[in-house]
Structure 1
Amino acid sequence: MSNAEHNPAISIGIVIFTNITQLDFTGPYEVFAKLPNTKLYLLAETLEPIQSDRGLRFLPDTPFAQSPPVDVLFVPGGPGIDAKLEDRNFLDFLKTQAQTARYVTSVCTGSLLLAAAGLLQGYRATTHWLSLDLLALFGVEVVPQRVVIDRDRITGGGVTSGIDFALVIAAELYGEATAQSIQLGIEYNPQPPFNSGSPQTATDNVIDSVKTASQNRQDRRRQIIQKIVAQQ
């Protein structure tokens, strides 16, 4: 009998909310769902359908009030974080879960929610490249890497880094052989057609166009975070 069969199932709680970026959590979900002896929870404030920032709808399976303590707390990101940065009930749920979680984790701008809950102070962490400076406003030691591990905090960069992040989690929980088997099973072998997936490799014109398109949202988010930090 395997160790997984001897030991209690590992629980992973994925926190979802309106206007989430779906790939932030569906990429990791695909990896997590292939882990042995693992129970996944789609956690939300209610069981009402959650609509992503691009219109896809998802059904939570566990409301916050009925959530058990989870071994891995995972917070994705997306435009919807702005409404949650000052949502005391939401942030209190994260803090409560973090007290007993084996790992407290995020992908993309989910790290801003962890920081708003006070869960990244004293840790190294990352986020989407457009929001690295916003994460630093919380006093977090920002590291512009695809996945950052600092003790029991594991954070991933923007959107697609969620798959890398989840494979790192898989290796932490069940070893590299399991993580590698999952990687091969989903044929995760990135060969992007363009070399513009990072501000370190994209041209100035591409970087400027992305910054311009997101400027209003980033400015609003900065104002929210500056307000939060000023009140701390």
Structure 2
Amino acid sequence: MKATLEIGLLFFPGMTQLDVTGPFEVLARLPGARMHLLWKRIEPITSDVGLTLMPTTTFEDCPPLDVLCVGGGPGQMALMDDPEVIGFVAHAGANARYVTSVCAGCFILAGAGLLNGYKSACHWLSRDQLAIFGAIPIAERIVVDRNRISGGGVTAGIDFAFQVAAELCGDDVAKRLQLMLEYAPKPPFDITEQNAPPELLAEIRSAARPMLEERRLSSEKAAARLRDGHLPVHPDDADVPSSRPGVPR
């Protein structure tokens, strides 16, 4: 186990904060963890429901990462067309030991060319759209495929974080953390995608339709850029031969 673990979580306006603050609570307690809350600038950002958050590390100052973690939220869609963000994620992900996501953060990874041919979890409302990028959607709370680890929607990020902790530091460390944090979920209602009444699922899908269509359009646009080899190049990669198909150098 490394003496220092460099763990980076992408912050952005309109993020669903629990996607990454849940994992932060777990991963920040790992031995030797150094946490980097990543954004373009050190300035307050606002989550999708109004929580103010402060990044700690700019893209420019980000060290090589052991773990890159990307969450989702409605702000994700704007990032798909942001070359600075996509270029950073592509570079950081290509060099990280583990490339990870929670909820719709998987689309940011996919838009950076990091999920083609990989299995991934996602929020159940958007999971099917992963196929746009050649990723393999899996209806599980946690999915591990080689060095890609993904969590489903929002609260799945906590379960996901214990899996990442076990990968980094072993089961004993992860179990100790789970006990210390008293993670023993017992939700008041037994309702999931698998057992919810069809009419409730249909109602939620109907209400989410405008957002889902916007996400689909942003994903299709990003996937077309990847097919055309138009992934943005991070400055540190400018003179390095590409190991990712379709990335211009």
Q: Please report the TM-score for the alignment, with normalisation by the length of structure 2.
A: 0.88
* Structure 2 letter corresponding to 1:86: D
Deviation at 1:228, TM superposition (A): 2.7
Matched with 1:180 is 175
Q: Distance in 2 between matches of 1:46 and 1:203?
A: 44
Matched with 1:152 is 147
1:103-136 deviation digits (Å, cap 9, x = unpaired) = 0000000001100111001211111111111111
Matched with 1:30 is 25
Q: Distance in 1 between matches of 2:203 and 2:176?
A: 38
* Structure 1 letter corresponding to 2:145: D
Matched with 1:215 is 209
- Are 2:3 and 1:8 aligned? yes
Match of 2:39 among 44, 51, 58: 44
Matched with 1:204 is 198
- Are 2:61 and 1:75 aligned? no
Deviation at 1:223, TM superposition (A): 1.6
- Residue identity (%): 46
Q: Please report the TM-score for the alignment, with normalisation by the length of structure 1.
A: 0.94
Q: Structure 1: 5+ residue runs without aligned partners?
A: none
Matched with 1:224 is 218
Output the aligned Cα RMSD. 1.2
Q: Distance in 2 between matches of 1:207 and 1:192?
A: 19
More helix by share: 1
Deviation at 1:63, TM superposition (A): 0.7
Matched with 2:84 is 89
Q: Distance in 2 between matches of 1:205 and 1:103?
A: 39
Q: Distance in 1 between matches of 2:97 and 2:160?
A: 16
Aligned pair count reads: 226
Matched with 2:107 is 112
Instruction: Provide the secondary structure at the position in 2 that maps to 1:11.
Output: strand
